[in-house]
Amino acid sequence: MDNSSRAPLTYNVKRRTPEARGKSWIGTIFFGIGLLIFSSLMLMMTLGSGSPFASLTGGSGAELLFAVPFIVLGIVFWTKSNTSQNGTITFYDDRIVYHCRNEKFVLLPGQVSHVTQSGTLIKIVFSGKTLTLVSDRASEITRNVNAFISAYAGNNAAPQTAQAPANTQSISPDDIRKYKQLVDEGIITQEQFNEIIKKNA
């Protein structure tokens, strides 16, 4: 990774989720309906045929306001789809951490299989899941993910900083304590801890 000083690298990202995409589609539909109503009423008023809402507004042109709620709702849903999943992705020597307000993913060596990038869109595949992110610095993030994968290629165990010594067949009590500390700090899950202990037993 681009991390010669071994200091963590953090990038601001947006996560694309099905919920966010749903809000985006709803926003597009509402906004489209609002524009359709507005343009239709403008066309009818221009042609002099009058609008179907003219009787309610006295033909003053105020019927154009009927389009406003749809346009506003469209903007609101679009805003929610773009801001509700703001987060960060941080690269450490021994893990990658994605974090937002209510979610946290810790990607350990051996879990990340590959990463793809298309413009500002990044897809990180790990443990059978796909983390879809958007960032203006997508190329840097992709390069760091690839470097992380390469650094631990062929090593499906836990990071070197917290794994059992390579020349022993079983895990030592000190190493178990290190792993347990990672669990307590929320860096790895209890399931990951159990899997590591089982592999090194």
Which sequence spans correspond to the domains of the chain?
1-16+86-155, 18-83, 157-201
What digits encode the pLDDT tens for the residues 8-32? 899 999 887 655 556 677 878 888 8
Q: Tell me how far apart the alpha carbons of residues 111 and 117 are, in angstroms, rounded to a whole number.
A: 18
- Which region holds residue 50: left if phi is over 0, alpha if psi is between -120 and 50, else beta? left
Cβ distance 28 to 72 under 8 Å? no
Q: Tell me how far apart the alpha carbons of residues 183 and 61 are, in angstroms, rounded to a whole number.
A: 64
Class of domain 1-16+86-155: mainly beta
Q: What is the pLDDT of residue 84?
A: 52
What digits encode the pLDDT tens for the residues 167-177? 445 677 777 88
For residue 193, the cross-strand partners are none
- Residue 128 pLDDT class (50, 70, 90 cuts): confident
- Residue 201 pLDDT class (50, 70, 90 cuts): low
- Residue 116 pLDDT class (50, 70, 90 cuts): very high
What's the Cα-to-Cα distance from 96 to each of 9, 134, 165, rounded to whole Å? 10, 16, 22
